[in-house]
């Protein structure tokens, strides 16, 4: 493992006191894989919002400006090699995040920025609609890598994904905005009539391990019959780590990421099924990330990515 490399990530996304999503899903896997992680919590909630009741605070634009100002005055902004962003709750916060990312890119020109454009899922937005235009016009053009789910890719591209052809059209549109690596983390529509599989589709214009000009891969995994919060945040963090460690080999990265994610979800599913009230309780469905440290360090590849 390349633990001697000086990889330092600034992760800007949500935080929960109890459970796993946002930075709680991202920080431990990144640290386990040898990355130093600094993090700004866009919100701090008691739990994720899938619980019957949740409380907490929302960071505003002035808060992030103050935090960035403190890092700036201590000459720390130039130390970052990677940026990661996820859930934000307001357009004004996204605007402030845009300014921060632009500044970091100006003082650390080789920084790699992965944007997980958290907008919604299952055909429904769960952030205010005005965030979409800020993502499209300001945040996405700064990104080197994006990891939307199918619904988010449709929102960002304006293309309804009904199969592989339209998925590739959406990916090509996002490439046209200047994004070198586009990964649709999960697709559900038009690929599997039995609804028992999920597909990840990735495209990278960065030269990978074999120095090919463009890498285009798909990977199919079995669907586990339940919903788990924080899997997208975990996917993005794992992708950022493995894409770096494999020197931009998209195929190996996708295999490692999905293997780890699948192991964690299966462990969580089995744990929940052995608890009172099973999968009905949100607490039982919290990702078993800490218990999966070995799977994070050494993923057990069971599903191979296929070059398209």
Query: Tokens standing for 16?
Result: 């929960």
Q: Which of 233, 249, 294, 295 is catalytic?
A: 233
Bridge-based pairing of strands 215-222 and 306-307 is antiparallel
DSSP code of residue 50: T
Question: Angle CA(285)–CA(287)–CA(293) in degrees, nearest 5?
Answer: 150
Q: What is the rounded CA–CA span in Å between residue 188 and residue 300?
A: 24
Instruction: Kindly compute the dihedral angle of the four CA atoms of residues 35, 187, 223, 13, in this order, to the nearest 10 degrees.
Output: 30
Q: Find, among 84, 102, 85, the residue nearest to 36 by Cα.
A: 84
Whether residue 233 lies in the annotated active site: yes
How distant is the alpha carbon of residue 299 from its chain centre?
Answer: 18
CA distances from 172 to 54, 179, 182, 214 (A): 39, 10, 9, 12
DSSP string, 119-146: -EETTEE-S-THHHHHIIIIIGGG-SEE
CA distances from 93 to 90, 148, 197 (A): 5, 20, 36
- Residues carrying an active site annotation: 233
């Amino acid at each position: 493992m390349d633990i001697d490399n000086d990889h330092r990530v600034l992760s800007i996304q949500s935080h929960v006191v109890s459970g796993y999503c946002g930075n709680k899903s991202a920080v431990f896997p990144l640290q386990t894989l040898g990355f130093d992680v600094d993090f700004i919590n866009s919100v701090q909630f008691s739990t994720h919002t899938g619980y019957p009741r949740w409380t907490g605070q929302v960071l505003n634009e002035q808060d992030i400006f103050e935090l960035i100002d403190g890092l700036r005055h201590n000459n720390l902004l130039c130390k970052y090699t990677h940026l990661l962003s996820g859930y934000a709750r307001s357009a004004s916060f996204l605007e402030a995040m845009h300014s921060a990312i632009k500044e970091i890119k100006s003082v650390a020109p080789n920084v790699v920025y992965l944007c997980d454009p958290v907008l919604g899922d299952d055909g429904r937005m769960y952030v205010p609609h005005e965030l979409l235009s800020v993502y499209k016009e300001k945040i996405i053009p700064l990104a080197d890598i994006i990891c939307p789910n199918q619904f988010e890719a449709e929102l960002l591209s304006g293309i309804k994904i009904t199969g592989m052809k339209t998925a590739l059209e959406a990916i090509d549109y996002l490439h046209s905005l200047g994004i070198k690596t586009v990964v649709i983390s999960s697709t559900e529509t038009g690929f599997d009539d039995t609804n028992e599989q999920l597909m990840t589709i990735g495209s990278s214009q960065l030269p990978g391990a074999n120095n090919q000009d463009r890498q285009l891969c798909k990977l199919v995994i079995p669907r586990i019959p339940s919903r788990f919060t924080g899997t997208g945040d975990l996917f993005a963090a794992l992708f950022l780590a493995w894409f770096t460690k494999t020197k931009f080999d998209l195929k190996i990265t996708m295999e490692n990421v999905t293997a780890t994610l699948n192991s964690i979800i299966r462990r969580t599913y089995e744990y929940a099924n052995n608890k009172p009230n099973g999968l009905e309780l949100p607490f039982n469905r919290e990702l078993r990330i800490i218990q999966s440290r070995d799977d994070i360090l050494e993923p057990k590849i069971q599903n191979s990515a296929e070059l398209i």
